Each structure stands twice: as structure tokens, then as C-alpha cells.
Structure 1
């Protein structure tokens, strides 16, 4: 049930590369967080100059205009070990398959609970699945 938002500088990634990025993110979510393969909810946002800012060297990471901001909202409960494995595998896979720089893979996980999701019809479907009803 993760919801993914990916932001990037306009003209850095074409439609084919965005498809690869989507697939790689999904694959890593399946492998590290046991997300079902058909649980795909992703939005990609391109930004023009003046709409996309980043520190080129914060925390000793040298970033470029190829930076991807990947924000993933998902149910809480993943361990630190799972998260670290996910970050590493995602950066490695993106670097190898696109290719792109690992330094340009910026990930933020936002944890929430079952009651924070409605997949349509004005219902909280995850409460039924998670045992909350």
C-alpha cells in the first residue's frame, strides 16, 4: 500500500527511464518490505528551473541535477535493518540499470497507520485487511 512521489529536474529523465525507475522502486518494495507486486501507486513530478532545490554536498554526498527525490508513504512497522537494506538496494539497482549516480537517490519514508488510507469509495479498506474493524 505504499504511495510513492518522485520529483526530479525537468528533462533529466525521459518516459522510458521513468518507467524503469517505477519498476525498480516497485521491485525493491516487494523484496524488502513484502509489498504485493500489484500494489502500485506512484506519481512522478518534473520541475522547472526555480522549482527544484537541493544542497549539492549536504552530509558529504555530492549531488547533481540528476537527483531524484523519492518520498514513500507506507504503513509503519518496518525495521531499521529493512529500511537500510531497501535504501542500499534501491540506489544500487537504479545506478546499475539506468544508469544513474547513487548519490542522486534521495529517499524519505513516511510511516502512517491503516486508518490513514482510503483506496476509493470513501472506505478505509486497510482497516478490514489489518484487523482494525
Structure 2
């Protein structure tokens, strides 16, 4: 149920879809997203419409810059998030020849009830899907216990 927004300078449709495929593959590998759970929005920009600092934080960016914003259910650990960032960057480099320095990723974590998959319902407000039930169980086990 993550929603992935991909922004990049204008390229071929095949390149843009290859970027989307790599990101989805990384998500299935690292954060347990089911293969069929794919909702992505690709926005290609004309020259000058995608604004980014070419050297912020001493990272040299080019016009191959890609911004990836993933809205997903909250609860993943820092390690899982770091693995996601690393794997997205690796796959983009391997499959699409994207420079790691040109990959900018941000996660927006929301509560499961903040999603409606259709029909005007919050499908996960009362019952989480299996992959999120596992995530919740892990979070519950690692939470400090009150006495």
C-alpha cells in the first residue's frame, strides 16, 4: 500500500519504467511489500522544472537527479529504512546506470488508517494486512514494557 512518487528530468518511457521497477523491487526485498502492492506516480520534468541543490551536503548531483518519495505505514526500524535506501540506490545504478549521488529518497510514514485503497473505505483501520501484522508484532515485542 505504499504510494511512491518518482520525479526526474524528462527521459524515455522505458527509462522511467525501469526506475519504477527497480524501486518496487527494492521495496519487496527490504520492507516486505507484496509484489502486487504497486502504486507509483512517475512525473517527468522539462529542463528547469526540477529544482535541487547540485552540491548540498557535499554530494555532487547532476541532471540525472531522481527524487523518490514513499508514503507508507509507520513502524519500520532505522536499519530497515537504511537497507531500503541502499537497495534502491544499488538497483538504480545496476539497472538504469543512475549515479548514487543523484538518488534522493524521503519516507513519509503514516498510520494504516490514513490509506483508502478504493470504495471510500479505510481498509486497514480495523485490520492490518498480513505484511503489516508482522511489522506490528515486531514493534510490539521491541517496545519497552510498563510496570
Is the TM-score greater than 0.5?
Answer: yes
- What secondary structure does 2:68 align onto? strand
List per-residue Cα deviations over 1:49-99 (Å, max 9, x = no partner).
332111001011100001000000000001000111111111111111111
- The runs of 5 or more residues in structure 1 that have no matched partner are none
Name 1:6's counterpart in structure 2.
6
Name 1:127's counterpart in structure 2.
125
Q: How many residues align?
A: 129
Provide the rounded CA distance (Å) in 2 between the counterparts of 1:46 and 1:22: 12
Point out the structure with max Rg over C-alpha: 2
Following TM superposition, by how much is the alpha carbon of 1:128 offset from its aligned partner in structure 2, in angstroms? 3.8
User: Aligned Cα RMSD in Å?
Assistant: 1.3
Name 1:89's counterpart in structure 2.
87
Match of 1:29 among 27, 30, 45: 27
Runs of 4+ in 1 over 6 A off after TM superposition: none
Name 1:40's counterpart in structure 2.
38
Match of 1:61 among 55, 59, 62: 59
